[in-house]
Amino acid sequence: MCPFLDTASASHPALIDSNHALQQSILATVPDAMVVIDEAGTILLFSDAACRMFGYDASEAVGQNVRGLMPNPDRDRHDHYMRHYMETGEAHVIGIGRITTARRRDGSTFPIELAVGEARGDSGRLFTGFIRDLTEMRRAERRLADLQAELSHISRVSAMGSLASALAHELNQPLTAISSYAEGARALLGEDGTPAAGDIDMVRDALAEASGQALRAGQIVRRLREFISRGESERSVERLRRLVTEAAALALTGAGPSNIDFEIRLDPTVDRVLVDRIQIQQVLFNLIRNAVEAMQSASRQRLAVYSQHLPSAKGAAGLVKVTVADSGPGLAPAVAAVLFQPFNTSKAKGMGLGLSICRTIVEAHGGRIWAEASEFGGTAFHFTLEIAEEPQDD
Ligand code: ADP
């Protein structure tokens, strides 16, 4: 009898006879891909939807280790994850679910939503994974997001227009005043550049007024910058691993079947960061999506997201440097010169806003963003984040 059904509920006499038929009908009809594994990670059951999703026949998949369905780094680490769970009971996926990336038979990767349940049978523990392919769902969401981005681009441009005219109006007053005080002072200087004795005080006053007005202009600009940077932002302590895996799963979607050799290498000594999750995922998404687009015609497509702890001299927790490296053609010199400036793009349909948004977000988090040549011969974007001081439990 299959261990999957070797449970108390399956010991009902009516079920014992029909176990095999029942199992077959579940496997054939369950809409999400279903994979059952044992404690060693060996696949025991592989549903029809899983066959379609991953490109294996059930007879090929059963008996293999489930890590073959994952790209790295999960593939190499899965045995460790399972051992860790068996020893500590500390679950990262089981009973929680997560968005991650899976790997088809042909090596291509795709984003999935994974839910894992656990059952304890006489012959040990069993884990049932339900896997939903997010490709189509994300494609539809992306179309919507593209549309929204276009709309918000339009509204941003018109908002910038009204902001600029308000700013011009406000700044016009002190600038006009500065100009007339300066002009007045110049007139008082007389032909030979020396003011008449009685006029010296007036020249001094005019210059004092002019410098006061210049300070006022500075305040207006400062107020405006504060206003802009007060955008809605909610910071919380987040796990960098989660931010990266989710953003990568979303960004790798819809790029079509790809042969990107993708790896995530995160510094194990630092994981907690104090960030606005959505904003930092937006940064990662933009950088990964740019990397994927840049590699479209590269013969070898390599993409890596990695992190490195940059300890602080002052005893504070320090910074973490996050890198997105690709094997694309590198930055075109004309683009490199104005890389983070808005409306600068080399793409026919690009808006040239991605990197300027990334810079605004990273700088609002107190970090820095820059680009260099990558170890794979393409481009590497790096940005820094502050490490969260206080670890918090899940
Ligand atoms: P968009 O993607 O709409 O063009 P971005 O601001 O995200 O806007 O990018 C600006 C430009 O920077 C791109 O058009 C491209 O020329 C260049 N670029 C960004 N990322 C990369 C990369 N990983 N490799 C090569 N060029 C890149």
Ligand 1 binding pocket (C-beta < 6 A) is 286, 290-291, 294, 326, 328, 331-332, 335, 344-347, 350-355, 379
Q: Which pLDDT score is estimated for 306?
A: 95
Q: What is the predicted pLDDT for the residue at 308?
A: 95
SS3 call for 260: coil
Sign for the pseudo-dihedral over CA of 135, 136, 137, 138: positive
Distance of CA 377 to the CA centre of its chain: 23
Same domain, 145 and 86: no
Burial letters for 133-142: b for 16+ Cβ neighbours within 10 Å, e otherwise?
bbbeebeeee
Q: What is the pLDDT of residues 277-296, one digit of tens each?
A: 878 888 898 899 899 999 98
Give the Å distance between the CA of 356 and the centre of ligand 1. 10
Asked whether residue 248 carries a pLDDT value surpassing 70, the answer given is: yes
Average pLDDT over residues 91-112: 82
CA of 324 to the centre of ligand 1 (A): 13
pLDDT band at 2; cut points 50, 70, 90:
very low
Tokens 């040549």 label which residue?
A: 373
Residue whose Cα lies nearest atom 21 of ligand 1: it is 290
Identify the residue whose C-alpha is closest to ligand 1 atom 16: 346
Neighbours of 172 (CB within 10 A): 11
The SS3 of residue 25 is helix
261 and 356 belong to one structural domain: yes
Show Cβ contacts of residue 3 under 8 Å, excluding neighbours closer than 6 positions. 38, 44, 121, 123, 124, 126
Same domain, 160 and 42: no
Give me ligand 1 centre to Cα 368, in Å: 18
Lowest mean pLDDT among 250-254, 324-328, 380-384: 250-254
- Rounded CA-CA distance 86/60 in Å is 27
Mean pLDDT over the full length of the chain = 81
Q: Are 249 and 373 part of one and the same domain?
A: yes
pTM of the model: 0.55
- According to DSSP, the β-strands at 379-386 and 369-373 are antiparallel
Residue 311 sits in a domain whose CATH number is 3.30.565.10
On whether both 67 and 18 belong to a single domain, the answer is yes
How far is Cα 349 from Cα 113, in angstroms, rounded to an integer? 30
Residues 310 and 381 in one domain: yes
Residue of higher predicted confidence among 284 and 90: 284
Residue pair 127/116 in contact by the 8 Å Cβ criterion? yes
Residues 153 and 271 in one domain: no
pLDDT digits (tens, 9 = 90+) for 184-209: 888 888 777 777 777 888 888 889 98
Helices and strands (H, E) in the chain, number of each type: 10, 12
Please tell me whether residues 353 and 303 are part of one structural domain.
Answer: yes
Mark whether 249 and 169 lie in a shared domain: no
pLDDT above 70 covers a percentage of the chain that reads 80
E strand or H helix that includes residue 383:
strand 379-386
What is the C-alpha separation between 154 and 151, in angstroms, rounded? Answer: 5
Residue 394 lies in a domain: no
CB 27 within 8 A of CB 45: yes
- Residue 82 CB coordination number (10 Å): 20
Q: CB-based burial of residue 280 (10 Å sphere; 0-12 exposed, 13-18 middle, 19+ buried)?
A: buried
- Distance CA(323)–CA(10), nearest Å, equals 50
Q: Could you tell me how far CA 190 lies from the centroid of its own chain?
A: 64
Q: What is the CA(382)–ligand 1 centre distance, in A?
A: 14
Q: What is the domain range of residue 354? A: 236-386
257: pLDDT strictly greater than 70: no
Q: Is residue 249 part of a domain?
A: yes
Higher pLDDT, 247 or 368: 368
pLDDT digits (tens, 9 = 90+) for 218-234: 877 776 666 555 555 67
Query: Of the candidates 167, 198, 228, which is a domain's last residue?
Result: 228
92 Cβ contact partners less than 8 Å away, ≥ 6 residues apart: 81, 85, 98
- Name the domain boundary from 184, 205, 228: 228
pLDDT score for 17: 54
Q: Are residues 245 and 381 in the same domain?
A: yes
Ligand 1, residues 146, 152, 345, 374: which to mutate, most atoms within 8 A of Cβ? 345
To test the pocket of ligand 1, the residue of 146, 290, 295, 338 to mutate (highest count of ligand atoms within 8 Å of its CB) is 290
The domain tally of the chain equals 3
Rounded Cα distance between 323 and 304, Å, is 8
By mean pLDDT, which of 14-28, 77-91, 173-187 is the weakest? Answer: 14-28
Residues with Cβ within 8 Å of residue 388, at least 6 apart in sequence? 237, 272, 273, 274, 317
313 is a domain residue: yes
Residue 340 φ then ψ, to 5°: -95, 10
The pLDDT tens digits for 345-361 are: 888 767 777 888 888 88
Distance CA 268, CA 289 (A): 25
pLDDT at 56 over 60: yes
For residue 40, the domain's CATH number is 3.30.450.20
pLDDT digits (tens, 9 = 90+) for 4-34: 433 334 445 554 556 777 777 888 888 889 9
Shared domain for 213 and 285, answered yes or no, is no
In a domain, 393, yes or no: no
* Last residue within a domain, chosen from 114, 133, 152: 133
CA angle 135, 138, 139 (to 5 degrees): 80
